[in-house]
Structure formats: C-alpha cells, structure tokens
C-alpha cells in the first residue's frame, strides 16, 4: 500500500532556536541536528532522534514536505534521508517535482485565485494602511501569491489581527498569526488541494498529515489521519475534528512524536490492520 505523508515543517517537524523548547526544562534538552543555515547562521533544527525517524520514514512512504515557505526558503532546508521527490511550497501555490515547480499546477492555482477571491494588491494595500510603524518591522509578498507582515508581537494592539481577519474573510482570504508573522492567504490557496493532486498522481491509498497553524487545518482535514502538536494556533484555540489527534507534546518533543505516529501508521497500513 502506498502511504503519502504530508507534513508542515516549521514548528511541526523543524524548529527555530526560539521555538525549540516551548517550556522544556534545560535538563531535558535533547541532542539536535541543524537542518537549515542562512547567511552562515543556523536557523532550524530537529532532534537527532527525529532525524533518524524521518530518514527511515522516507524509505517506506511518500514523504511530502508541505509548507507556507517560498521555494527559495524551502531550498535552504536539508532534511535527513533521501531527498523528497515531491514538495508543496507557498501554501499549495507551487507543487515541486524533483525540485522543479509543476507549471500546469501553477496555472490551475492562478485560475482559481482570479475567480474566487480579491486580488493580492487589494489585500496588501489594506494591511499596510491599517498597520502602524511602531510595531511593523517588515512587509513581504511571497511568490506573488500572498502577503505577510513581520511585527513586534508585544507591541501589536489587541484585536488588530481579529479585525484584519474579519475584513479578509469577506474578501475570500484567511489571516494567520504565527510567531512574529501575520499571514494573509487566499482561501483557494490551500495545502490540501496540492495534497489531493499528489495522492492522485502517486496512487496513495492512505494519507497521513501533521501541522500546527490555521493554515494547516485544511491539510489535516484532507488526511485519513492527522496530528497537531500541543503548541501553535490550532492548540491555542483547542481546534480538532474527527480523525485528528491533539498531542500533548510541545516543541521538538512534538516533532519526534509526530514522526513516531507517522511510522506507526505506515506499519499499520502494511499489516492491513488499520492501526495508526
């Protein structure tokens, strides 16, 4: 049986130095493997145990990194094990096959965005008009698909994100607060759509998934079984649904546990016993 494993990366499988422990006592600090370097600085890590689990999983399932990162940002990551043949970047805007964006898929994405939601220019203009220089540090457009702000979280006015989310909802967009970044993403731009396409192409009979943020909710709902860590947007709101397991583990410990659950799901599928 072909099993497709679609997992978010940041704060699900890999962690910045700021997000590593999430309350873990210093005495329990695990051995880490750096998986991302940028401008000669280490940026992201996973535990050595998680690295071994991922490398083994890559040999028994179709592992698909599924991220909101741009292709350039994803390209900085070096995951352990065989290089994944498929990856989903820009929240589903790019489907990579052997490192190359599938042009047919991008054309389909562009057509949906043109038909189903307000333009990027309109949403970006509203974000900038309502933001304040006292807490706004950067503004970025990702792959000409969506926009995000980098903010000083402690200075962000209470209620601002909700007001933006309410406005964006009427325009066919979703707003997500992740760490110091506020994302505005078109609703038709989803990780789940790209996962469905890869399941069709690979003939996968079982899809497993994991993620921590609001932008991962559709991905988790699209899977046969899915997990979310004990931290992140989804955990903070208590979000869950049938077929989705809310884990107690947080930080890199959650990354390890997610990979253990994936591995058990693959073994169960091979045995035909349905255990995940």
Interval 210-226: pLDDT, tens: 999 999 999 999 999 99
Pair (64, 195) in one structural domain: yes
Structural domain including 259 reads 3-110+189-271
pLDDT digits (tens, 9 = 90+) for 243-266: 999 999 999 999 999 999 999 999
What gap in Å lies between CA 104 and CA 111, rounded to an integer?
A: 11
Q: Are residues 200 and 262 in the same domain?
A: yes
Helix (H) or strand (E) holding 168: helix 160-169
The last residue of a domain, from among 145, 164, 186: 186
pTM for the whole thing? 0.92
- Judge if 86 and 209 occupy the same domain: yes
- Write down the pLDDT at residue 276: 46
CATH classification at residue 172: 3.90.1070
Instruction: Count the domains in the chain.
Output: 2
Q: Are residues 210 and 147 in the same domain?
A: no
CATH label of the domain that carries residue 33: 3.40.50.1000
**Of 171, 186, 201, which closes a domain?**
186
Instruction: Give yes or no: residues 193 and 182 share one domain.
Output: no
* CA proximity to 59, closest of 270, 275, 248: 270
Same domain (yes/no): 10, 80: yes
Distance CA 32, CA 267 (A): 26
Residue 276, domain member (yes or no): no
pLDDT digits 0-9 by tens, 48-72: 999 999 999 999 999 999 999 999 9
Instruction: Using the 3D structure, point to which of 126, 154, 186 is the last residue of a domain.
Output: 186
């Amino acid at each position: 049986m072909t099993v497709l494993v679609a997992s978010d990366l940041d704060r699900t499988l890999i962690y910045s130095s700021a997000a590593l422990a999430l309350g873990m006592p210093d005495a329990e600090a695990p051995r880490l493997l750096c998986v991302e370097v940028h401008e000669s600085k280490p940026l992201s890590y996973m535990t050595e145990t998680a690295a071994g689990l991922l490398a083994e999983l890559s040999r028994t399932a179709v592992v698909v990194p599924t991220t909101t990162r741009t292709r350039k940002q994803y390209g900085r990551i070096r995951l352990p094990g065989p290089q994944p043949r498929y990856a989903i970047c820009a929240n589903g805007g790019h489907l990579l096959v052997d490192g190359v964006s599938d042009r047919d898929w991008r054309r389909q994405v562009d057509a949906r965005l043109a038909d189903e939601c307000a333009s990027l220019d309109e949403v970006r203009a509203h974000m900038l008009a309502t933001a304040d220089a006292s807490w706004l540090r950067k503004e970025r457009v990702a792959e000409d698909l969506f926009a995000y702000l980098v903010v000083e979280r402690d200075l962000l006015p209470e209620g601002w994100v909700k007001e933006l989310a309410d406005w964006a909802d009427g325009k066919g967009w979703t707003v997500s607060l992740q760490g110091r970044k506020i994302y505005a993403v078109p609703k038709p731009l989803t990780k789940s759509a790209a996962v469905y396409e890869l399941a069709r192409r690979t003939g996968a009979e079982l899809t497993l998934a994991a993620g921590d943020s609001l932008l991962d909710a559709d991905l988790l709902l699209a899977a046969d079984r899915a997990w979310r860590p004990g931290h992140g947007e989804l955990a903070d709101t208590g979000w869950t649904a049938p077929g989705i397991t809310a884990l107690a583990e947080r930080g890199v410990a959650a990354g390890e546990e997610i990979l253990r659950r994936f591995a058990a799901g693959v073994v169960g599928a091979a045995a035909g016993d349905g255990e995940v």
